[in-house]
Amino acid sequence: MAEFKFLQGNEACVEGAVAAGARFFAGYPITPSSEVAQAASVKLPPLGGYYIQMEDEIASMAAIIGASLSGLKSFTATSGPGFSLMQENLGMAIMGEVPCVIINVSRGGPSTGLATKQAQGDVMQSRWGTHGDHAMIVLTPSSVQECFDQTVRAFNLSEKYRCPVIVLTDKTIGHLRERIEVRGPEEIEVIDRKKPDCAPSQYKSCAPDDDGVAPLPSYGDRHLLRINSSMHGEEGFLNDSPANATALVRRLWDKIEKNVSYIGKIEGYRLEGAETVIIAFGIAARAARRAVTLARAGGIRVGLVKLLTLWPFPYAQIREALDPNCRSLLVAELNMGQLVLEVERLFKDKKILRVNKWSGEDILPGEIMAALKEAGC
Amino acid sequence: MGLTYRDYLREELFPQMWCAGCSHGISLTAVARAMAALKLDPAETVVVTGIGCWGKADDYFKTHSFHGTHGRALSFATGIKVANPRLKVLVLMGDGDGVTIGGNHFIHTARRNIDVTAVITNNFNYGMTGGQYSSSSPEGTISTTSLYGTAEPGFDICELARAAGATYVARTTPYHVTQMDKLLAEAIQHKGFSVVEIISSCPTFFARYNYKVTAVEMMRLFKERAVDRERYDALTAAEKAGCFLTGRLHREEKEDFHTKYARLQQQAKARAEREVV
Ligand code: SF4
């Protein structure tokens, strides 16, 4: 049954995880994500689930990978330097094709940086933080309700594609309190991983079906599971031949990048006739929305594309949403300009404007308005 | 079920990938014999490895397996075991995985008393990357990164395990195969975190650089230098330095993490129900 609750973004992530079926959390406390761990430690044990506080973020990431393979939907939460430590085993989850969810409540960096302050500086780390070629799914909520909804979606995508999924929030959203609708598992779509339906002797841990995803049994099932972080063939044994390396890295990439139409999600606001469109995600998208409302009231033809999926970048969806009159794109983000690099790369036909801030404070609608005016909008 | 140790091994993948004379092959079949002796169900057994020569051992087992990043094997194993306590989880690591890069995970797994078995082959160096010194290399070790010897002492893995809270600790060598079989079976059966250190020979690097002997002579060395508790206690400090104390070194009955956690879940559930009422 749906309930209305007054929650923090961090708490809403845990409500979403539980509704999606998560029963295992491993983590290490770090500001500003600690409330995710706290809420998980309260919610999971009465449900027969597990909260385990590990010795660091490397071990936290490892434990959720292990638990997921034993059949429990698993997640962790972190921020800043903790997210950097998770990069090693994020790669493991990609290579081993292990469903799991990472809530990254971003804060100011580099290093221990602005531990208690706001930033969106992990646009690129969340995409490319672990080494090697890989695809990554990164979802970006901009409200407490979306923390719930996007965490549910993160679990569903991780189960569907056998991969880690990052929910990238930020300090402000994580600590913001809003009234939200917490829906029960029966009221939301819950996707569970595909299990093998062949005879156990026929099963190969890494042999994909037509959708590029291999069925995944749990440790303890009759189908013997072989997970391998090194370059491997269909049976999970080391295979570092050039042909196999080329094919495996390609498959892991394609199973995500070829499904952007399903994974990608944006929300448009007042795009009709918009000559300038703001592209933003997370808290910055809320300031942008206010700026659009104000600008429209003053007769400026501005709209907003809010990204609910940051990566894979939902290029086609954005392109389709833009009005034929759109001439410029303004990227508003709490960093020195990361998302804008992707926008510049893909929208060479538009004039690209930037609003950036890395002071530890949020972007204000007035600052976006000022940028619009300065650009002559 | 009537399985023999050969039923746990993928003999079709032999010969093993290790160098001629490497003792890992002996340890591999000993682990398989322990599995057979305990009649482990391969579908309820998970072999977890990290990176290194011994880290390739998972390839040879017909059980569930997990081969992951260097040093994190115990953390993966913690997740695997906590999420499904029915499983038997064997974590095969070298001295690098086990107590060097993975040292932090090792002491915390011991402290939590997670019911998994760590089988640590200690060859006092990194074989796979070309014979560099590790945190178990004795002071003065000659290796490819310490041609002048090392200026740091090595960990005593068993002492470390015991001090950190492991509830079963044993040490053996590839020469003492009967003892190895027995200790491995005991460790796997033990409820709680168990550690079996297998003093190992890396004839390609450590043995060649430090003892200047062949694989066969290393076996003689193991035979001569491994002593049980009684003999060890009678030795002088100088004599002890050249010996390995072997056998079961520690065993205590203590509730493992999962037993305690299951109780905590029950209490949490009762409290949640009370609060709803
Ligand atoms: S390098 Fe040493 S440890 Fe590695 S396989 Fe060769 S002998 Fe064994």
Q: At A89, is the secondary structure helix, strand, or coil?
A: helix
Using a CB-CB cut-off of 8 Å, the residues of chain B touching A200 are 43
Give domain status of residue A216, yes or no: no
- pLDDT of A1 higher than 80: no
Amino acid at residue number B75: S
CB-ligand 1 contact for B205 (6 Å cutoff): yes
Task: At A372, list the tokens.
Answer: 């619009």
For residue A205, what are the contacts with CB-CB under 8 A and spacing of at least 6?
A214, A224, A225, A226, A227, A234, A235, A236
Nearest Cα neighbor of A317 from A268, A254, A284, A255 is A268
Quick one: A167 and A47 in the same domain?
yes
The pLDDT of residue A279 is 98
Give the single-character DSSP code of A375: T
Give domain status of residue A358, yes or no: yes
Quick one: A178 and A62 in the same domain?
yes
Q: Which of A47, A59, A220 sits opposite B72 (nearest CB)?
A: A59
The pLDDT of residue B277 is 67
Q: Please identify, among A187, A221, A254, the residue that sits at the C-terminal boundary of a domain.
A: A187
B27 vs A376, higher pLDDT: B27
CB atoms within 10 A of CB B177: 15
Nearest Cα neighbor of B193 from B82, B29, B95 is B82
Distance B200 CA to ligand 1 centre (A): 10
The pLDDT of residue B202 is 96
The pLDDT of residue B16 is 95
Distance B148 CA to ligand 1 centre (A): 22
pLDDT above 90: percentage of residues in chain A: 99
- The number of helix segments (H) and strand segments (E) in chain A equals 13, 16
Give domain status of residue A236, yes or no: no
Amino acid at residue number A255: K
The pLDDT of residue B242 is 84
Query: Whose CA is closest to atom 4 on ligand 1?
Result: B127
The pLDDT of residue B275 is 86
Query: Whose CA is closest to atom 6 on ligand 1?
Result: B19
B72 and A89 in contact by Cβ < 8 A? yes
ipTM summary value: 0.97
Residues B131, B143 contacting (CB under 8 angstroms): yes
Residue showing tokens 């309700």: A145
Residues A216, A163 contacting (CB under 8 angstroms): no
Q: How far is A8 from chain B (nearest CA, A)?
A: 21
Task: At B82, list the tokens.
Answer: 């906590």
Query: Whose CA is closest to atom 1 on ligand 1?
Result: B127
pLDDT (average), residues A286-290: 98
Quick one: A151 and A275 in the same domain?
no
Where chain B has pLDDT below 70, the residues are: 1, 277
Q: Please identify, among A187, A203, A234, the residue that sits at the C-terminal boundary of a domain.
A: A187
Q: Please identify, among A157, A187, A217, the residue that sits at the C-terminal boundary of a domain.
A: A187
The pLDDT of residue B241 is 84
Number of independent structural domains in chain A: 2
Q: Which of B43, B76, B265 sits opposite A65 (nearest CB)?
A: B76
Task: At A4, list the tokens.
Answer: 């209305």
Residue showing tokens 């929650």: A7
A29 pLDDT band (50/70/90 cuts)? very high
Quick one: A9 and A110 in the same domain?
yes
The pLDDT of residue B1 is 53
Chain B, 5-44: which have a CB under 8 Å from a chain A CB?
Answer: 13, 42-44
Distance A280 CA to ligand 1 centre (A): 53
Q: Any idea what the CATH number is for the domain that residue A143 is in?
A: 3.40.50.970
Average pLDDT, chain A: 97
Q: Which of A24, A63, A222 sits opposite B75 (nearest CB)?
A: A63
State the number of CA atoms in the 13 A half-sphere of A264 facing the CB. 17
B87 and A225 in contact by Cβ < 8 A? no
Task: At A100, list the tokens.
Answer: 């799991």
Give the whole-angstrom CA distance, residue A318 versus residue A261: 11
CB-ligand 1 contact for B19 (6 Å cutoff): yes
Chain B: residue whose CA lies nearest to A41: B268
Nearest Cα neighbor of A226 from A88, A99, A134, A96 is A96
Enclosing H/E stretch for A289: helix A282-297
Give the whole-angstrom CA distance, residue B60 versus residue A287: 57
Give domain status of residue A204, yes or no: no
pLDDT above 70: percentage of residues in chain A: 100
Give the whole-angstrom CA distance, residue B188 versus residue B170: 12
B105 and A26 in contact by Cβ < 8 A? no
pLDDT (average), residues A198-224: 96
Atom of ligand 1 nearest to the CA of B53: 4
Give domain status of residue A252, yes or no: no
- pLDDT of A44 higher than 80: yes
The interaxial angle of helices A34-43 and A9-20, nearest 10 deg, is: 40
Give domain status of residue A307, yes or no: yes
Specify the pairing of strand B168-172 against strand B247-251: antiparallel
A26 and B79 in contact by Cβ < 8 A? yes
Query: Whose CA is closest to atom 8 on ligand 1?
Result: B22
Give the whole-angstrom CA distance, residue B276 versus residue B268: 12
CB-ligand 1 contact for B33 (6 Å cutoff): no
CB atoms within 10 A of CB A198: 11
Quick one: A150 and A290 in the same domain?
no
What residue numbers bound the domain in which A326 lies? 267-374
B63 and A224 in contact by Cβ < 8 A? yes
CB-ligand 1 contact for B94 (6 Å cutoff): no
Using a CB-CB cut-off of 8 Å, the residues of chain B touching A225 are 64-65
With vertex at residue B169, the alpha carbon angle to CA B167 and CA B173, rounded to the nearest 5 degrees, is 165
Burial of A111 (0-12, 13-18, 19+ CB in 10 A): exposed
Dihedral angle of Cα A78, A76, B166, B60, to the nearest 10 degrees: -120
